[in-house]
Amino acid sequence: MRDGERRWRRVVGTPLGLSAAALVLAVLTLAVLGPVLWGDAATAVDTDDILAGPSAEHWAGTDNLGRDILARVLVATRLSMLLALAAVVIAVTAGLVLGSAPFLLGRRSGRLVSAAVNVAVAFPGLLLALFFAVVFGVGATGAVLAIGLSGAPVFARLTQTLVAGVAARDYVSAARVAGVGRLRVLFRHVLPNIAEPLVVNATIGAGGALLSFAGLSFLGLGVQSPSYDWGRLLYDGAGAVYVNPAAALAPGAAVLVAGLAFNLLGESVAKGFGVPVLGEVRGRRRTGSGDATHQDAAHEAAPETARVTDEAPTAEDVVLDVRDLRVTFPGPSGPVRPVRGVSFSVRRGEAVGIVGESGSGKSLTALAVSRLVDDDGTVEASRLAFLGHDLRTTPTPAERRMLGTNLAMVFQDPMTSFNPTQRIGHQLAEVATTHLGMSRREAMDRAVERLDSVRIDDAVERVRRYPHEFSGGMRQRAMIGMGLMGTPALIVADEPTTALDVTVQQQVLDLLAAIRAADDVALVLISHDVTVVGEVCDRVLVMYAGRIVEELPAADLATAARHPYTRALVAAVPDMATDLEAPLATIAGRPVDPAEVPPGCAYAARCPLADARCRAQDPPLESTAGGRVACWHAGEPLPLLEISRPAEDPAEDLAENLVETP
Amino acid sequence: MTITASSVAGTPPLPAPRARTALRDRTWLRFAVRRLGRLLVSLWVLVTASFAMIHLIPGDPVRGALGPTAPADLVEARREALGLNDPLLSQYADYLRALFTGDLGTSLSSQLPVSDVIAQRLPATLSLAVLAFAGAVAVAIPLGVAMGVLTRRGHGRRTELAFTTSSVVVATVPDFLIGIGLVYVFGVNLAWLPVAGNETPSAYVLPVLALAIGPAAILARIVRVEMVGVLEADFVRTARAKRLSPRRIYLGHALPNAVTAALTLGGLLLSAMVAGTVLVENVFAWPGLGSTIVQSILTKDYPVVQAIVLVYGIGVLVTNTVVDVALALLDPRSMIRED
Residue A285 has pLDDT above 60, yes or no: no
Q: Chain B residues with CB inside 8 Å of A260's CB?
A: 169, 172-173
State whether B177 and A220 contact (CB < 8 Å): no
Quote the minimal CA–CA distance from A549 to chain B in Å. 28
State whether A417 and B173 contact (CB < 8 Å): no
Residue A101 has pLDDT above 50, yes or no: yes
CB pairs under 8 A between A and B: 231
**A470 and B CB contact within 8 Å:** yes
pLDDT of residue A86: 92
Q: Which residue of B has its CA nearest to A460?
A: B17
pLDDT of residue A578: 63
Half-sphere exposure of A367 (CA within 13 A, CB side): 27
The answer to whether the CB of A396 falls within 8 A of the CB of A402 is no
Find the mean pLDDT for residues A154-174: 81
Residue A650 has pLDDT above 60, yes or no: no
Quote the minimal CA–CA distance from A536 to chain B in Å. 20
Choose among B237, B257, B282: nearest Cβ to A219: B282
Q: Which residue of B has its CA nearest to A120?
A: B42
Find the mean pLDDT for residues B170-187: 84
Residue A370 has pLDDT above 70, yes or no: yes
pLDDT of residue A321: 92
Choose among B4, B58, B230: nearest Cβ to A471: B4
Q: What is the mean pLDDT of chain A?
A: 79
Find the mean pLDDT for residues A190-208: 83
Please name the helix (run of DSSP H) or strand (run of DSSP E) that holds residue A566, with its range, or none.
Answer: helix A564-571
pLDDT of residue B4: 37
pLDDT band at A536 (very low <50, low <70, confident <90, very high): confident
Choose among B155, B184, B242: nearest Cβ to A249: B184
Beta-bridged to residue A380, according to DSSP, are A326
pLDDT band at A300 (very low <50, low <70, confident <90, very high): very low
Find the mean pLDDT for residues A2-14: 69
Is B229 among the domain residues? yes
Quote the minimal CA–CA distance from B242 to chain A in Å. 5
The predicted complex's ipTM stands at 0.80
**B337 and A CB contact within 8 Å:** no
Quote the minimal CA–CA distance from A521 to chain B in Å. 17
Residue A478 has pLDDT above 50, yes or no: yes
State whether B173 and A256 contact (CB < 8 Å): yes
Q: Chain A residues with CB inside 8 Å of B57's CB?
A: 134-135, 137
pLDDT band at A90 (very low <50, low <70, confident <90, very high): very high
Q: Chain B residues with CB inside 8 Å of A482's CB?
A: 238, 242
Q: Chain B residues with CB inside 8 Å of A279's CB?
A: 265, 268
Residue B259 has pLDDT above 50, yes or no: yes
Q: How many residues does chain A have?
A: 662
What is the residue range of B256's domain?
122-287
Q: How far apart are CA B94 and CA B86, in angstroms?
A: 10
To the nearest whole percent, how much of chain B has pLDDT over 90? Answer: 1
Q: How far apart are CA B334 and CA B328, in angstroms?
A: 6
pLDDT of residue A89: 93
pLDDT of residue B335: 66
| Residue type at A494 in one-letter notation | D
Q: Chain A residues with CB inside 8 Å of B188's CB?
A: 241-242, 245
State whether A130 and B309 contact (CB < 8 Å): yes
The answer to whether the CB of A516 falls within 8 A of the CB of A349 is yes
Q: Which residue of A has its CA nearest to B297?
A: A134
State whether A376 and B226 contact (CB < 8 Å): no
Count H helices and E strands in chain B, helices first: 14, 0
Find the mean pLDDT for residues A184-207: 82
Find the mean pLDDT for residues A289-302: 36
Q: Chain B residues with CB inside 8 Å of A284's CB?
A: 226, 229-230, 232-233
* B residues 193-212 closer than 8 Å to A (CB): none
The radius of gyration computed from the CA coordinates of chain A, to the nearest angstrom, equals 35
pLDDT of residue A296: 37
* B residues 277-296 closer than 8 Å to A (CB): 278-279, 282-283, 293-294
Q: How far apart are CA A91 and CA A159, in angstroms?
A: 12
**B305 and A CB contact within 8 Å:** yes
CB count within 10 Å of CB A511 equals 20
**A259 and B CB contact within 8 Å:** yes
pLDDT band at A449 (very low <50, low <70, confident <90, very high): confident
**B77 and A CB contact within 8 Å:** no
Q: How far apart are CA A509 and CA A491, in angstroms?
A: 13
The answer to whether the CB of A566 falls within 8 A of the CB of A557 is yes
Quote the minimal CA–CA distance from B275 to chain A in Å. 6
Query: Considering only CA atoms, which of A283, A510, A188, A588 is closest in space to residue B151?
Result: A283
Is B338 among the domain residues? no
State whether A130 and B222 contact (CB < 8 Å): no
pLDDT band at A312 (very low <50, low <70, confident <90, very high): very low
Chain segment B58-114, per-residue pLDDT in tens:
777 777 777 777 788 888 887 777 777 778 888 888 888 888 887 888 887 787 888
The backbone torsions φ and ψ at residue A553, rounded to the nearest 5 degrees and listed phi first, read -65, 145
Of A125 and A9, more confident: A125
Quote the minimal CA–CA distance from A26 to chain B in Å. 19
Least confident of A314-323, A549-558, A569-578, A592-601: A569-578
Residues 6+ apart with CB under 8 A from B191: none
Of B12 and B308, more confident: B308
Quote the minimal CA–CA distance from A132 to chain B in Å. 8
Q: How far apart are CA A107 and CA A101, in angstroms?
A: 10
**A131 and B CB contact within 8 Å:** yes
Find the mean pLDDT for residues B186-207: 78
Quote the minimal CA–CA distance from A467 to chain B in Å. 9
Q: How far apart are CA B184 and CA B178, in angstroms?
A: 10
CB count within 10 Å of CB A406 equals 18
* B residues 23-42 closer than 8 Å to A (CB): 41-42
pLDDT of residue B24: 58
Topology classification of domain A3-44+55-273:
MetI-like fold (1.10.3720)
Q: How many residues does chain B have?
A: 339
Strand, helix or coil at B165?
helix
Q: Chain A residues with CB inside 8 Å of B331's CB?
A: 420-421
| Residue type at A395 in one-letter notation | P
Q: Chain A residues with CB inside 8 Å of B240's CB?
A: 372
Is B84 among the domain residues? no
Q: Chain B residues with CB inside 8 Å of A458's CB?
A: 14, 17
Residue A377 has pLDDT above 50, yes or no: yes
Q: How far apart are CA B332 and CA B158, in angstroms?
A: 37
**B183 and A CB contact within 8 Å:** yes
pLDDT of residue A354: 92
Check which CATH number belongs to the domain holding B161 and give it: 1.10.3720.10
Of A157 and A59, more confident: A157
pLDDT band at A154 (very low <50, low <70, confident <90, very high): confident
**A245 and B CB contact within 8 Å:** yes
Q: How far apart are CA A385 and CA A342, in angstroms?
A: 14
Find the mean pLDDT for residues A578-593: 70
Q: Chain A residues with CB inside 8 Å of B176's CB?
A: 215, 218
Count H helices and E strands in chain A, helices first: 24, 13
**A256 and B CB contact within 8 Å:** yes
Q: How far apart are CA A283 and CA A280, in angstroms?
A: 10
- Direct distance between the N- and C-terminal alpha carbons of chain A, in angstroms, rounded to an integer: 37
Is B34 among the domain residues? no
Query: Considering only CA atoms, which of A274, A359, A280 is closest in space to residue A595?
Result: A359
Residue A614 has pLDDT above 60, yes or no: yes
Find the mean pLDDT for residues A27-45: 79
State whether A284 and B316 contact (CB < 8 Å): no
pLDDT band at A88 (very low <50, low <70, confident <90, very high): very high
Domain count, chain B: 1
**A122 and B CB contact within 8 Å:** yes
Cβ-defined contacts of A516-519 (< 8 Å, 24+): A516/A349, A516/A351, A516/A491, A519/A487, A519/A488
Q: What is the DSSP string of B12-45?
A: PPPPPHHHHHHHHHHHHHHHHHHHHHHHHHHHHH
State whether B271 and A404 contact (CB < 8 Å): no
To the nearest whole percent, how much of chain A has pLDDT over 70? Answer: 85
| Residue type at B238 in one-letter notation | T
Q: What is the DSSP string of A341-376?
A: EEEEEEETT-EEEEE--TTSSHHHHHHHHTT-S-TT
Is B298 among the domain residues? no
